[in-house]
Amino acid sequence: MGKTLTEKILTDHLMVGELKKGQEIGIRIDQTLTQDATGTMAYLQFEAIGLPRVKTELSVSYIDHNTLQTGFENADDHAFLQSIAAKYGLYFSRPGNGICHQVHLERFGQPGKTLLGSDSHTPTGGGLGMLAIGAGGLDVAVAMAGGPFYLATPEVIGINLSGQLKPFVTSKDIILKVLELLGVKGGVGKVIEYFGEGLKSLTVPERATITNMGAELGATTSIFPSDEITKKFLEAQNRVFVYRELLADNDCKYDQIIEINLNDLEPLAAAPHSPDNIKTIASLEGMKVNQVAIGSCTNSSYTDLVKVAKILKGKTINPEVSLVISPGSKQVFEMLAKDGYLVDLISSGARILESACGPCIGMGQAPSTNAVSLRTFNRNFFGRSGTKDASIYLVSPETAAVSALTGVITNPTKQKLDISTNMPEHFLIDDNMIIPPLADGSEVKIIRGPNIKPLPVNNPLDNNIKGEVLIKVEDNITTDHIMPAGAKILPLRSNIPEIAKYVFTSVDKDFSQRALDKNGGFIVAGHNYGQGSSREHAALAPMYLGVKAVITKSFARIHKANLVNFGLLPLTFKNESDYENIDQGDILTLKDLLSSLKNGNEIKLINETKNKEYELLCDISDRAKDIVTAGGLLNYTKGI
């Protein structure tokens, strides 16, 4: 039997284990990326491992999240990251050079390579035929040290695309359709692999939009083949030397196949407050719009913004709408200026932001009270925009631009305008904002500002744990709920004692102090706990506050791995109905943990407040159990 594209790349990179569905494997990582919101902690962790230089083929440190410098903290972090890159052999993408995923696609991505990034949208690289996976910073640090990345051998869902998109229907609408079909939990433990005749009409940036938002499915990653479309993109980027054809075998077998006819698609939106709450634009037409934001790692490519410029050319945005646009990279920004499209954007009344993540992570441009904001981003979680009562709709750039003109949600397919745009034969290549690695960085001194605090390390797991239920939360709690972002909190990513004060503030403002007063305890949650961002701070900060275990109905993949990495037990109810019998404030006890974990036994949970006993499961590999027992991956790696 032939192999899927995913199986081919996994086979080529297999270091530990066998490719048997659900079994743990370790794969070699060729490339890594970090961004500044997660990178400082990742490099503190790499330093703790004690190697003189990264061992990957290529590693890049990007500055794209914490670029709003309202105090010294972000600038200090940037200086730290630049000195780390110089010392340890990384490329450094300076502030203003662009969003990590857009730049990596343009300048570093290679078909058939593995990429591990400390950002959940790292799967963007799948649009180029990479096996690109988001993970916590500690996993990335270990990969930079030459260690394998461990994951469960994934199932592979094949999505067969046929037909061709109609005018003003976009790749954003394809991934929104997939989200409608599978939901935010439908990709957990799976890779989404695209194939079919419909691929021939999708450019690499369009494919990257789809793989980028595959993160919202909970998928391990998403991937497209490397074909003639890929080759043309790499030729235009003056990097055709990295091209290799990479296709699934004709006789490969997918675990599930989903058929999507592109001819049948129409413009869609993800309505508040989840990326899988899909509505047709036709059903939303006429709703008043207050803000439109175009950009993010999902939809900020050159061709995306050229189409927006063609829609806005010679027109003025509605006087009651604020329109902001973030070009995805310096390359995109320069080409828009050189080709005259930037003038059209500015003349329309759009506010041009720097090439960074910006409003997507709540870094500025929070909507007004009770606003409706159309965004071309990838997430619309409650409060993520910075305004709790705002309603965020995720849409294509075309829908966003047309609606900015009318002031209401408008179906773009009614436009008579021709906005068809070909991929450039040659992109503007200017890498002057990328600093290459030094041949020898041994003499470089690391710059550490006062906001960069030592890395907290957990203690080995106790055999018996007793504590209070510090908080009980429902299904689909995101890492934004656990560890909020935004301009106030993101600058504290290097300072765990300070950022820990904000754990769960959007849910329960007293959580942090309560956890400290109670000397830690337990978190109890519903399904899909920890969905969304890869931010390991959502595990690290609760660990600092004394949380010993998280008990849920189910976990999101990256967050579960992050809990393990920092020595917090990820436990699930054997009987989900037991969730209803536990309340905040209950005193819980876990006994004989070490022997239960070692022998693979169910774990007994005693609710001393209610005098009840429950059975819990710890569904992680033997290796992961050893990591938790050691008190986390750093202790485990160093043999503590």
Could you tell me the two tokens for 510? 């007293």
409 Cβ neighbours under 8 A, 6+ residues apart: 269, 281, 284, 285, 286, 287, 289, 372, 374, 393, 399, 403
For the chain, 640 residues long, the average pLDDT of each consecutive 10-residue run is 96 96 96 94 92 97 91 93 98 97 98 97 98 95 96 97 97 98 94 97 98 96 98 98 97 97 98 96 98 96 98 98 97 98 98 93 90 96 88 98 98 93 95 96 95 89 96 94 87 91 94 95 96 90 96 95 95 96 97 91 94 95 94 80
Q: Measured on CA atoms in the order 406, 410, 414, 415, is the torsion positive or negative? A: positive
**Cα of 556 vs its chain's centroid, Å:** 12
Q: Residue 640: its pLDDT value, please?
A: 44
CA angle 200, 202, 206 (to 5 degrees): 160
Q: Residue 1: its pLDDT value, please?
A: 84
What is d(CA 37, CA 361) in angstroms, rounded to the nearest whole number? Answer: 10
Q: Residue 534: its pLDDT value, please?
A: 82
What is d(CA 528, CA 228) in angstroms, rounded to the nearest whole number? Answer: 38
Q: Residue 150: its pLDDT value, please?
A: 96
Neighbours of 463 (CB within 10 A): 14
CA angle 591, 597, 603 (to 5 degrees): 45
Q: Of 451, 444, 298, which is closest to residue 380 (Cα–Cα)?
A: 298
Q: Residue 331: its pLDDT value, please?
A: 98
Q: Residue 601: its pLDDT value, please?
A: 83
This prediction's pTM:
0.93
Domains of the chain plus CATH, in order, are 5-264 (3.30.499.10), 268-414 (3.30.499.10), 465-638 (3.20.19.10)
Q: Residue 297: its pLDDT value, please?
A: 94
Could you tell me the two tokens for 99? 């969003």
What is d(CA 373, CA 239) in angstroms, rounded to the nearest whole number? Answer: 38
Cβ atoms of residues 120 and 126 within 8 Å: no
Q: Of 520, 517, 489, 515, which is closest to residue 502 (Cα–Cα)?
A: 489
Catalytic residues: 64-65, 119, 379, 533, 535
